[in-house]
Amino acid sequence: MISDETIAMIRAFVAERGWEPFHTPENLAKSISIEAAELLECYQWAPQMPPLGDDHAKDELADVLMYCIMMADALHADMDGIVRSKLERTARKYPAKAVRDRPDEAIARHWLARGVRPDDVER
C-alpha cells in the first residue's frame, strides 16, 4: 500500500526544502516521464543483455511513485479514488469473460481505439 503517513512524509520533505513552487502539474508530469525512462533503462538491452537487478528497478520505481504522489497532490486527487474509477471503466470496456473467450477481439479493439488498423496487428 501507499499510506497517508508516507504521503505526509513526502509533503514535509518538499516543504522543508521550499520546493513547492517547482511542483506545478506540468513539471510533475515531465518528472514522471523522466523517472519512468530511468526505470525502463533497467531493461534497455534485455533480453540480449541481462537486466539490472530488482533492487535497482525498485529504486527507480520508487522515484516514479514519489512524483505520482506529488502529482496527485497537485491535482487534489485521491489516488485510491482515481485508480478504482479507472479500473471500473476499463473492466466494463473489457469484460472478463469476453476477454478470456475471445482474446484476439479484445486486442483488436484496444488497437482500434488508438487508431491502428487491424492489418497492422501481426498474428
The answer to whether residue 53 forms part of the interface with a copy of itself (CB under 8 A) is yes
CA angle, 76 as apex, 69 and 35 as ends, to 5°?
Answer: 25
| Near a copy of itself in 63-82, by CB under 8 A | 63-66, 68-69, 71-72, 75-77, 79-80, 82
Answer yes or no: are the C-beta atoms of 64 and 35 closer than 8 Å. yes
Q: What is the DSSP letter of 21?
A: G
Closest separation between CB of residue 112 and a copy of itself, Å? 11
Residue type, 67: Y
The answer to whether residue 10 forms part of the interface with a copy of itself (CB under 8 A) is yes
Closest separation between CB of residue 60 and a copy of itself, Å? 9
